[in-house]
Chain A
Amino acid sequence: MKRRTLLSAAAALPFAGLACKRLHKFPFGGELLGTSMEMGHFVRDGALPQPESYEPIGVIIVGGGVAGLSTARHFEGVGFHNYLLLELESEVGGTSRSGRNGVSAYPLAAHYVPAPTKELTNLVKLLDEAGVIEGYDSAGEPIFAEQYLVRSPDERIFFHGQWWEGLYLHAGESPEEARQYSAFFKEIDYWTLWRDAKGRKAFTLPRSKGSDDPEVRALDSLSFKAWLDARGFTSERLLWLLDYAVRDDFGSRLETTSAWAGIFYFAARKQGPGEESRPMLTWPEGNGFLIHHMQKVCGDRIRTGHAVTRLEPQPDGTVRIMAWNIRENRPVGFLAQRAVFAGPVQMAGRVIPALQKARGKTFFEAFPATPWLVANLTLRSRPSEHGFPVAWDNVIRQSNGLGYVVATHQSLRDHGPTVWTYYHALAGPDPKADWLKLAAMDWRACAELVVNDLKRAHPDIESQIARLDVMRWGHAMIRPRPGLLWSSELALSREPFLGVHFAHSDLSGLALFEEAQDHGIRAAEEVLDRISLPFAPASERRSGGFPGAASLK
């Protein structure tokens, strides 16, 4: 730890102390989980013994989140198996990881994907493989299996002492508030219909397929708040809904979110004006369902518990990789034809010293990420409540948290024990300070925060909790601040660096499954193009045969 960060950690301590001043004994236990912070420090300090030898291999994928697994799955799909995926944690999945106990499986973070239209081919293919798609309609649009679409009711909000259906409270709305609500969605309709000269939509998933027209890009130069102000949106209800939306999807506030990202959230999920947003696909274990599927496809080419400490790209395009096998406590080395770095951009700077040097410090500072606290509460039975019945997503209006998702909602278990996943994005203006604050909190402080928030809607919640596990995410989501999404840094981050290719949702500036998958597949294709060029044309390779692969084994 540097001196400065240590000092700010010390400054954050009173906050943690405050949270546990009331020494309340909880009638339940739990664990404080987190990403492997110690190994993270190893990686940063680089003070580990060198490996004795470097095993030659086709490709090394660094990082087993959605991006890295998508690269690996793409390799498998074209019959290329000469690769290894190295993952720091004991499980792959990154922020899509999940847990399971005697009551239910549950997400540790990401918990849904919007049901894709046929244009989102990669995601449609993955969902089809995983058994989520039952067939296709006459227009070629996928038909999703009922049990994977979010079961109704999907959302409710706690306000004025009771629960209400939906996230926007229409009850008690003034005529002006109603006008602003529909005016906002008219603005969204404009962008849903908008096409550039090439016929591309302004906002689409993945964003790489959307328009780069100056009219669209201009939206990135101001904050969502400034955009709303300019259009006279003052309705407190509407602004709350929009602020909630960006906190939930981007971990930022109206003031710290690019207007481009804010509009993207609403417009990219509609097919036409006035239409409902795309339905959601979800599973009790959240996106862990898709992770398990991708993991299965990759078989034994995944190495968990491997902390990559150094990537040294060689002038000939090969890459020397040093890693630490945590279980066996020994260094391992690889000499790869190519490497795919599928971790956060800031992390790339730490493990690729040459990249740090080449791109400079300011480049990496352009990628701030929001820390998150995610807690899983195992409940003995359902707590008492008033108003609209329990939904999938349950949001408390007067709270900084994002509410909770019921893991058993999708498994149809409506009585008795359940698991709730509580989300809290630390969306303050300074993510680094927020992370130090969160990192300094012990289990009790985290549990107090969670329980006190939930007590607003469920006064007897404490007596129902059997267990409360807390997950702290340092880098949960890249923050799409104004200016990032069309910045030179973001464009540069996608460019390969010698033999190292990059894949991560950071590279889109939006922490979305579709973006991570898009980059994972793009990186896989880039790598396959380079290493197989002398052996086979691309068309042959994509059809499944991959003659070049043999020579690399």
Chain B
Amino acid sequence: MDEVEATASLPAVEGAPLNASLLFISVFLIAACGLIYELVAGTLASYLLGDSVLQFSTVIGVYLSAMGLGSYLSKFINRGLAQRFVDLELAVALVGGFSAPILFMAFAHTHAFRPTLYGIVAAVGTLVGLEIPILMRILKDQVRFKDLVAQVLTLDYIGALAASLLFPLLLMPKLGLVRTSLLFGMLNAAVGLWSTFLLKSQMGDLFMVRLRCAVILVMLGLGLAGAHKFTLTMEEEVFSDEIVYAKDSPYQRIVMTRGRGSFQLFLNGNLQFSSADEYRYHEALVHPPFALNPSAKRVLVCGGGDGLAVREILKHTNVERVVLVDLDPAMTDMAANMPLMRELNGSALADPRVKVVNADAMMWIADDRSESPFDVAIVDFPDPNAYALGKLYTTRFYKLLKQRLAPGATISVQSTSPLMARQSFWCINATMEAAGFKTRPYHLAVPSFSVWGYILASQQPFEIPHQTLPDLRFLSNDAMAAMFAFPKDMDRVPTEINRLDNQVLVHLYTREWKRWS
């Protein structure tokens, strides 16, 4: 580079000569880092809140104005410029580097996502706004002013270009948001550490400064190593929408994605609900057994840890107690505490009538002695795609369940799709009949899933229900009756009975769904 050689030949005015060309590389790097944080914040806000135009506009606006503030504030920094520059790098490294994990956590665990978002964007913007003026002042005696401005601004913009190309093409697909932000945090800290060598002559206690750099690098490095806890890049390729929350519990992998104006919950990669149409699924699951048994007071929910079935149950004012038995505390904690989930389930799990039990539902109904018989039971397990789930659809399970029901109790059972897995659906129906239930299968369309099926059952014969609560979003008296009619391609087929010692349902289910994947 000609310019670099020219500047290097200038006589040093203060202290030992600085290697200006190397400092210009820092400009390039910090410019790239600064833009990455801005892109991370904008992308993350778009994923989590939707409306990407609004999110990107506000993030850019806040970021640029904060940079302006930073540039203004730079005039109040007068002494120890080199030391301040290193401190600045470390501060950007911390706030910018941890911005993505902090924002994900704020989304999952607090009500203050937006304040956190704009707070972080403003902080990073301010710090980044301070960087260039201070660096220019460090270099002002080394390089002629017109060269200085030209070089710094050129590299600043080239850095931004590099970042804006790397981010969508390489970083997002390969690393994801969390790893990208942590990695660039480390880059900022590395620039800080490197500057302690370049600006050695202008600095005091080098050991303490370098120690601080090292500590921050290690912190970010550990974050990078643990980044899989937030998202798996592999997974991001599997899910069609962006992952906003992911957790491995001892029982399953819980993933929440966000996109197209709704969010979705997956357990072990299987969709459990989409906020766009879960009301159809849960209204159809819950209200038919109540329509047969409107005075029901005691309700058992097996599975359904998302609390959405409980939300529907609590619409029935006679209900005095709901016992929800779900295997996974991580799932019920998320339903009880995550703001997004609470908003959707209406804080159903916080209702004083609701008791949450974390246990294997089959073992609980066999062993529990604390609860009196139930008037309604809602059975909402994941589909029987594994033996550990298949057991929850056996004659043994339904016989155990029968022992926990009050006389005249009614139940509904989610029973996969009678269209996609016709034999599986009718196998569940036959199994419930074999266990001594009178059944009335029904179905409806849930666009996120397919045509979905349930079994309404009681130990006594009963007629198809005709009345339901007013003011539901999907169910009406007419829609209720319509659900019980089966078109020809979903009508009953003869099947075996699912027992613990044959688990035929798991085989049927796996075979039938394979055709659609």
Residues of chain A whose beta carbon lies under 8 Å from any beta carbon of chain B: 146-147, 149-153, 279, 381, 389, 411-416
Contacts and interface: CB of A to CB of B under 8 A. Distances in A.
B239 interface: no
B396 A147 contact: yes
Given A381-B250, A413-B360, A147 B327 contact: no
A415 B360 contact: yes
A157 B387 CA distance: 17
Contacts of A279: 501
Contacts of A415: 250-251, 327, 360, 388
A412 B391 CA distance: 8
Interface string B386-406: 111001001110010000000
Given A149-B500, A151-B501, A415-B388, 11 more contacts: A146-B395, A146-B396, A150-B501, A151-B391, A151-B503, A152-B387, A412-B360, A412-B363, A414-B360, A414-B387, A414-B388
B362 interface: yes
Contacts of B499: 146, 149
A411 B364 CA distance: 12
A351 B362 CA distance: 51
A414 B251 CA distance: 9
Interface residues of B, number: 20
B172 to A, nearest CB: 30
29 contacts: A146-B395, A146-B396, A146-B500, A146-B501, A147-B396, A149-B500, A149-B501, A150-B501, A151-B500, A151-B501, A152-B387, A152-B500, A152-B501, A153-B387, A153-B503, A389-B387, A412-B360, A412-B363, A412-B366, A412-B391, A413-B360, A413-B363, A414-B360, A414-B387, A415-B250, A415-B251, A415-B360, A415-B388, A416-B250
Interface of B: 250-251, 327, 360, 362-363, 366, 386-388, 391, 394-396, 399, 499-503
A381 B249 CA distance: 13
A414 B387 CA distance: 9
Residue from the set A150, A152, A411 with the largest chain B CB neighbour count within 10 Å: A152
A149 B366 CA distance: 17
A411 B363 contact: yes
Given A153-B387, A412-B363, A415-B327, A147 B250 contact: no
A152 B507 CA distance: 11
B510 to A, nearest CB: 12
Contacts of A146: 394-396, 399, 499-501
Contacts of B388: 389, 414-415
Contacts of B362: 412
Contacts of B327: 415
A409 to B, nearest CB: 10
A107 B366 CA distance: 22
A152 B503 contact: yes
A254 B501 CA distance: 30
Residue from the set A150, A389, A412, A416 with the largest chain B CB neighbour count within 10 Å: A412
A389 B390 CA distance: 13
B154 to A, nearest CB: 53
A389 B386 CA distance: 8
Contacts of B395: 146
B501 to A, nearest CB: 4
A401 to B, nearest CB: 24
Residue from the set B362, B499, B501 with the largest chain A CB neighbour count within 10 Å: B501
Contacts of B250: 381, 415-416
Contacts of B251: 415
Nearest to A154: B501
A279 B499 CA distance: 13
A393 to B, nearest CB: 14
Top 5 A-B pairs, shortest CB-CB distance: A149-B501, A152-B503, A414-B388, A151-B500, A146-B396
Nearest to A414: B388
Contacts of A389: 386-388
A451 to B, nearest CB: 23
Contacts of A416: 250
Nearest to B396: A146
A315 to B, nearest CB: 55
Nearest to A391: B387
A381 B366 CA distance: 22
Residue from the set A146, A149, A416 with the largest chain B CB neighbour count within 10 Å: A146
B332 to A, nearest CB: 15
Contacts of A150: 501
A248 B271 CA distance: 43
A408 to B, nearest CB: 10
A411 B363 CA distance: 8
A415 B363 CA distance: 12
A366 B414 CA distance: 62
Nearest to B389: A414
Contacts of B502: 152
A407 B128 CA distance: 61
Nearest to A390: B387
Contacts of A381: 250
A415 B359 CA distance: 10
A415 B360 CA distance: 9
A105 to B, nearest CB: 14
A156 to B, nearest CB: 11
Nearest to A153: B387
B291 to A, nearest CB: 32
Nearest to B397: A412
Contacts of A151: 391, 500-501, 503
